[in-house]
């Protein structure tokens, strides 16, 4: 499989390679234009991203602050909408959109470009939230090590777990599990599909999302040999062919997002 080919799989629902260990070689992770995040190998950076890297960099700085401070999805949604409007209005790509629409003489061209801009914004927000979760997970791992040393210094053993005082001490350790807000799956999937090349498919190692897809009527079967060859896979996998709106957990097409009408190949583990 050539890296220059559109025959590849993009991982969903996460964007960072570090978040999903053990992904097959050849599966790519969508980079929504984040500077310095890597543009080759396991990374797929769309060619038609509307926002330039300096704009994305400024936006990501605000998203990173939001990701560290917010714990409610409502905060995320409201802030993301405001960020998009702030960066879109009066920007170079917004002016370019207007010129293109005027030259084409159609409103559809401007709306399509605006949809791509919003999709890129949502993907950047998802990237920022994942980075915050990874940062928090790293802090938790470091804290676990320090806490173990602390317990050893107090002479606590595993057998002391039944002691009320020891149990109370163990319960005093802060819980840093990264359970903060994330971009909703339907929004994320619609944004990913907006940038997915025609021949590209999806790869998912998230069993809960696979179960949700099946509830919406996505039917998986053993992957065909031609599918494995096309995407450079070996071993046992399952595949499905489903329209984008089903993958966004909607049983109805969205007239505002015609790219969701296209059937997409989805590959999951044989046991998912």
Residue 97, pLDDT above cutoff 70: no
Scored b (16 or more CB within 10 A) or e, 127-156 reads: bbbbbbbeebeeebeeeeeeeeeebeeeeb
Q: How many CA atoms lie within 13 A of 120 on its CB side?
A: 29
Neighbouring-strand partners of residue 203: 11, 267
How much of the chain exceeds pLDDT 70, in percent? 64
Yes or no: say if 176 and 143 are a contact pair by the CB < 8 Å rule. yes
Continuous segment of H or E residues that includes residue 144: helix 107-153
Burial pattern 75-105, b for ≥16 Cβ within 10 A else e, equals ebeebbeebbeebbeebebbeebeeebeeee
pTM: 0.75
Tell me, what's the pLDDT at 189? 97
Read off the pLDDT of residues 11-29 as tens digits, 9 standing for 90 and up. 999 998 877 778 898 899 9
CB 30 within 8 A of CB 192: yes
Q: Higher-confidence residue: 110 or 10?
A: 10
What are 200-224's pLDDT values in tens digits?
999 999 999 999 999 999 999 999 9
Pairwise CA distance, residues 110 & 106, whole Å:
7
Q: Where are the domains of the chain?
A: 9-129+180-269
Greater model confidence, 67 or 113: 113
Check residue 145 and give its pLDDT.
Answer: 47
**Helix (H) / strand (E) containing 44:** strand 43-44
**Which segment, 62-71, 153-162, 222-231, is predicted with the most confidence on average?**
222-231
At 40 the three-state DSSP class reads: coil
Task: Examine the pLDDT at 253 and tell me if it is beyond 90.
Answer: yes
Is 29:44 a contact under the CB 8 Å cutoff? yes
Match 């097409």 to its residue by tokens.
Answer: 253
């Amino acid at each position: 499989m050539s890296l220059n080919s559109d025959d590849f799989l993009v991982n969903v629902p996460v964007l960072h390679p570090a978040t999903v260990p053990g992904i097959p070689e050849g599966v790519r992770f969508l980079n929504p234009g984040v500077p310095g995040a890597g543009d080759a190998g396991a990374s797929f950076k769309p060619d038609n991203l509307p926002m330039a890297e300096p704009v994305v960099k400024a936006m990501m700085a605000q998203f990173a602050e939001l990701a560290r401070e917010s714990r409610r999805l409502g905060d995320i949604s409201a802030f993301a909408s405001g960020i998009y409007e702030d960066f879109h209005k009066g920007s170079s790509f917004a002016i370019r959109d207007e010129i293109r629409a005027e030259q084409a003489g159609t409103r559809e061209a401007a709306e399509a470009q605006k949809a791509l801009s919003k999709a890129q914004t949502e993907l950047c927000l998802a990237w920022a939230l994942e980075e915050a979760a990874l940062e928090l997970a790293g802090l938790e791992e470091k804290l676990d090590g320090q806490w173990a040393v602390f317990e050893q210094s107090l002479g606590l053993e595993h057998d002391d777990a039944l002691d009320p005082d020891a149990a109370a001490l163990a319960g005093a350790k802060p819980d840093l599990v990264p359970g903060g807000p994330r971009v909703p799956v339907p929004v994320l999937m619609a944004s990913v599909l907006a940038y997915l090349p025609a021949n590209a498919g999806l790869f998912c190692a998230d069993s809960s999302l696979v179960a949700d897809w099946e509830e919406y009527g996505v039917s998986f079967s053993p992957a065909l040999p031609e599918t494995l060859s096309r995407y450079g896979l070996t071993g046992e996998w399952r595949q499905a062919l489903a329209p984008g709106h089903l993958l966004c957990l909607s049983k109805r097409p969205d007239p505002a997002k015609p790219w969701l009408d296209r059937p997409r190949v989805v590959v999951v583990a044989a046991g998912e």
